[in-house]
Copies of this chain bind each other. A is one copy, B any other.
Amino acid sequence: MSRELTMLQAIQEALDLKLADDERVVLLGEDIGVNGGVFRATDGLLAKYGEKRVIDTPLAESGIIGTAIGMALNGMVPVAEIQFLAFIFPGLEQLLSHAARMRHRTRGQFGVPMVIRTPYGAGIRGPELHSESVEAFFAHTPGLKVVVPSSPYDAKGLLISAIEDPDPVVFLEPTRIYRAFREEVPGGLYRVPLGQAKVVREGEDLSIFAWGSMLRTALRAAEQIEQERGWRCEVIDLRTLYPLDRETIITSVQKTGRALVVHEAHKTAGLGAEIISLINDEALLYLRAPVKRIAGFDVPVPMFSVEDDYLPTEARIRQGIEETILF
């Protein structure tokens, strides 16, 4: 059975299936119960699984992540929702000092299988601090895995993999494409493996690396530029940001000799820098032009009246492609 679902529906379905499949799985977070989450990702799950499995917590993110760690230590598989990415900040200590380090410091004795899901990114006219993208923080934290889906199919398969993963996974859900489009999604449990990027569009002239909501922007730019200029850009969805799928990245750059990274996070010290560095390490001699970063500007994500200008646009990506190919 396969239906057209939005990313939100696909996520809801993954949660539903894992709740049914594994009684160690519990959901916790603010407003996820009777309200079904502020985006409705947990819609209907309280009614179906009860208060023991779908837990509305007090308003305290360190509390959510910290108790989730304790639950995970004692045999549960908590899936915590943080209402928006910036609200993970009060819980960062729990994530950095404990979740990421527990398996390592106890020499494998105590793992913390848990997932922290959180909507992220700009583009939905959200209030202040509802539009951040700080995935680079997590990708600089050994012990964590970082996953970002860009389509309903992947969202479901990646989330199921994340819940089944024995290590803590930060699962970032791009709000901008939560409901933006539908896609065929199979009904049962299936997995999209963590750690594997996906070549979404093949090409020979330039490699574009993107994830989350930027993937579609990048794809559109690639399509336009092919129409306008005939250049064929390869577009790669990284999907897992930590650890990165180096092989797919390098193979593509070795083929195209040119690369461009798109992300909505601030440019400086963003994940684009790491991708450039991997290319520098492994494929420098293949490069025919500097790798280009089209990223969010190095300003606090501004209020929504100008967020579209903060975000990478198709125009800026096309401009970047031109500069790189004509370098």
Cα-based distance from A67 to B290 in the complex (angstroms): 45
Contact B269 A271 (CB under 8 A): yes
Q: Which are the 8 A-B pairs with shortest beta-carbon distances?
A: A89-B93, A273-B273, A140-B269, A273-B277, A139-B269, A284-B290, A101-B300, A276-B277
Q: Please, which residue of chain B has its CB at the minimum distance from the CB of A287?
A: B284
Distance in angstroms between the alpha carbons of A270 and B276 in the assembled complex = 12
Q: Interface code A280-320, partner B: CB below 8 Å = 1, 0 otherwise?
A: 11001001011101000011101100000000000000000
* A321 lies within 8 A of chain B by Cβ: no
By a CB distance below 8 angstroms, the chain B residues around A273 are 269, 273-274, 276-277
Q: How far is the CB of A128 from chain B (nearest CB, A)?
A: 7
Number of interface residues of A (CB under 8 A): 49
A96-B89, A128-B105, A142-B300 given; A268·B276 CB < 8 A: no
Binds B, one of A129-137, A185-193, A200-208: A129-137
Which of B96, B97, B105, B140 lies in contact with A136, CB distance below 8 A? B140
A265 interface contact, C-beta 8 A = yes
User: Can you name 19 A-B pairs with beta carbons within 8 Å?
Assistant: A90-B93, A96-B134, A101-B300, A104-B300, A105-B303, A136-B140, A136-B269, A137-B137, A137-B140, A139-B269, A140-B269, A142-B298, A269-B273, A273-B274, A273-B276, A277-B277, A277-B293, A280-B291, A281-B293
Residue A92 interfacial (CB < 8 Å): yes
Q: Counting CB contacts under 8 A, is A156 at the interface?
A: no
Report if A113 contacts B (CB, 8 A). Answer: no
Minimum CB–CB distance from A61 to chain B (whole Å) comes to: 9
